[in-house]
Amino acid sequence: MSRCALVRGAMSASSAMARLLLFLCAASGLLLAAVAAIPPPEEAARMARYVLHSCDWGALATLSTQEGLRGRPFANIFSLSDGPPGPCGGSGVPYLYLTDMEISVQDLEVNSNASLTVSLAQTPYCRKHKYDPQNPLCAHIIFVGSIVKVNDSEADIAKKALFTRHPEMESWPKDHNWFFAKFNITNIWVLDYFGGLKIVTPEEYYSVKP
Ligand SMILES: *[C@@H]1O[C@H](CO)[C@@H](O)[C@H](O)[C@H]1NC(C)=O
Ligand SMILES: *[C@@H]1O[C@H](CO)[C@@H](O)[C@H](O)[C@H]1NC(C)=O
Ligand SMILES: *[C@@H]1O[C@H](CO)[C@@H](O)[C@H](O)[C@H]1NC(C)=O
């Protein structure tokens, strides 16, 4: 049984024990994070999970509703998280913390369809290997789907995922009516090697062990 599976099992046992294990897991995560191996390129679904979990933010494209830009693509940066950092947290679900005061979120209220891109160029990996961001070896993933608000029980999971990686979020102005949302993935493209894009289905994506 993996360390992560142990921790998940312990969560249902005594909570003190679970907290201790979670601490150990987080501590070992700090060590493992440095050496966690990138999946081989033939495992495209695992690659997609790996890249998303390695990234704290992404570029989100909406269809603009702004005067003068209506219907045109509009890409913007958003903080995201699929779970606490380290090897134990990744759910594969990109969670976001949004307010309808935000320009792209106003687009989503009219049309929730969107595209999200994340890249290992956002991590030390590509710099270390001297891969240009446009080089496929600097793996990047393109998700297409829609943004949906999460219900109250999923909001607890989203909050933990986001606030552990983006502690500043807790102090964002309360009167901006922040809410938790997720990217509802319908299509996935993986660019991680030469020879063209690979298509991964959401079913494959969510069923692999990252
Ligand atoms: C969003 O995309 C889906 C799939 O292509 C499409 O059926 C739907 O009409 C789109 N929604 C809007 C509001 O355009
Ligand atoms: C909340 O959403 C999750 C994920 O979609 C779902 O599994 C769960 O049943 C929902 N809970 C309620 C109370 O609707
Ligand atoms: C996610 O998108 C699919 C395909 O457009 C849609 O059928 C489904 O209802 C969406 N899920 C949610 C939670 O909105």
Judge whether residue 129 has pLDDT over 80: yes
Q: Which two tokens stand for residue 86?
A: 């380290």
The whole domain housing 4 covers: 1-35
- 14 and 65 together in one domain: no
Q: Sorting pLDDT into bands at 50, 70 and 90, what band is 28?
A: very low
CA 97/CA 155 separation, integer angstroms: 10
Domain count, the chain: 2
Check residues 53 and 4 and name the one with the higher pLDDT.
53
Ligand nearest to the CA of 62: 1
75 Cα: distance to centroid of ligand 2 (angstroms): 29
201 Cα: distance to centroid of ligand 3 (angstroms): 14
174-178 long-range contacts, CB within 8 A, separation 24+: 176/99, 176/101, 177/99, 177/100, 177/101, 178/97, 178/98, 178/99
The residue whose C-alpha atom lies closest to atom 10 belonging to ligand 2 is 151
Q: Sorting pLDDT into bands at 50, 70 and 90, what band is 209?
A: confident
- 202 and 178 together in one domain: yes
Q: What's the whole-number mean pLDDT along residues 179-183?
A: 98
pLDDT of residue 16: 41
Q: What percent of the chain has pLDDT over 90?
A: 79
- Residue of 185, 186, 205 to mutate, ligand 3, most atoms within 8 A of C-beta: 186
141 Cα: distance to centroid of ligand 3 (angstroms): 20
- 78 and 17 together in one domain: no
88 Cα: distance to centroid of ligand 1 (angstroms): 34
56 Cα: distance to centroid of ligand 3 (angstroms): 24
- 18 and 58 together in one domain: no
pTM, two decimal places? 0.86
169 Cα: distance to centroid of ligand 3 (angstroms): 27
Average pLDDT, the chain: 87
* 3-state secondary structure string across the chain: CCHHHHHHHHHCCCHHHHHHHHHHHHHHHHHHHHHCCCCCCCCHHHHHHHHHHHCCEEEEEEECCCCCCCCCEEEEEEECECCCCCCCCCCCCCEEEECCCCHHHHHHHHCCEEEEEEEHHHCHHHHHHCCCCCCCCCCEEEEEEEEEECCHHHHHHHHHHHHHHCHHHHHCCHHHCCEEEEEEEEEEEEECCCCCCEEECHHHHHHCCC
- 70 and 145 together in one domain: yes
- 107 and 140 together in one domain: yes
The residue whose C-alpha atom lies closest to atom 1 belonging to ligand 2 is 151
Q: Sorting pLDDT into bands at 50, 70 and 90, what band is 87?
A: confident
Q: Which two tokens stand for residue 36?
A: 């966690």
Counting from 1 in the atom list of ligand 2, the atom nearest the Cα of 152 is: 1
- 66 and 111 together in one domain: yes
- 74 and 137 together in one domain: yes
- 49 and 27 together in one domain: no
- 147 and 171 together in one domain: yes
Ligand nearest to the CA of 147: 3
- 137 and 199 together in one domain: yes
Q: What is the CATH number of the domain that holds 197?
A: 2.30.110.10
- Residue of 95, 143, 148 to mutate, ligand 3, most atoms within 8 A of C-beta: 148
